[in-house]
Amino acid sequence: MELDRAAVLVTGGASGIGAAAARLLAAGGARVAVVDRDADGAAAVADDVRGVSVVADVTDPAAMESAVIEAERTLGRIDVVLLNAGRTSGQSGYDRFDLENYRQVVGVNVDHVVFGLASAVPALRRAGGGTVVVTASLAGLVPMAGDPLYTLTKHAVVGYVRAVAPSLGSEGITVAALCPGFTDTALIANAKAQMRDFPLLSADEVAAAVWRVVEHGAPGECWYVQPGREPAPYGFRGAPGPAGGLRAPEVTWDLSASG
């Protein structure tokens, strides 16, 4: 995809990876809508990139839909969507369980992706196709024992991306995921002291990987990003099938059925 004059929507765009991606894509000629619940932060980044800011709670389906509609109206179309908002949980899920915190991390990391994709697909169809990049995490490819609930949400996102990609890809809409390792943003601020000399990615490095996925990514790919390595699609191993070499059938469920 050519980014020059492309219309891009970025969630979680007020800081961290989202802000870095907004700035990099704008520098490449894209027109950017910065979506965040932080009104001042979103406005500041939008001013930097000569884009537009949209205030929205990405865990609310109606707000996510309104954000896409507003961005499409302002920019004229939507070509690229970066579903980037995310948060850690700071709990295991089995000791001192905090239900409100659990709902929040699932809302931002999972619901936001589902609501965001559901809202973006109609706009991308109107544009004749486009690209959706979901910021997952290396914790979506391997377990992160320090935050099991975060791991749960990122594994869910990776599975969702891989499952929706084939059918949307046939419509010219590429859905892919980005799986960065530990990145020096506010998300890891509380744990950074424990990492000592462990190499961290910068937000700019992850933003550069976003650009590569937009330009070169294929439907369903999940690109890892690690310090000192070139970003690349992760090679998933297939699960064993039934004995005898039989392949599982492609099943289309009747989604109107209940029970």
Which is the catalytic residue, given 94, 102, 150, 224?
Answer: 150
Decide: 8 and 31 in contact? Cβ < 8 Å: yes
Question: Is 234 a residue of the active site?
Answer: no
Q: Which residues are catalytic?
A: 150
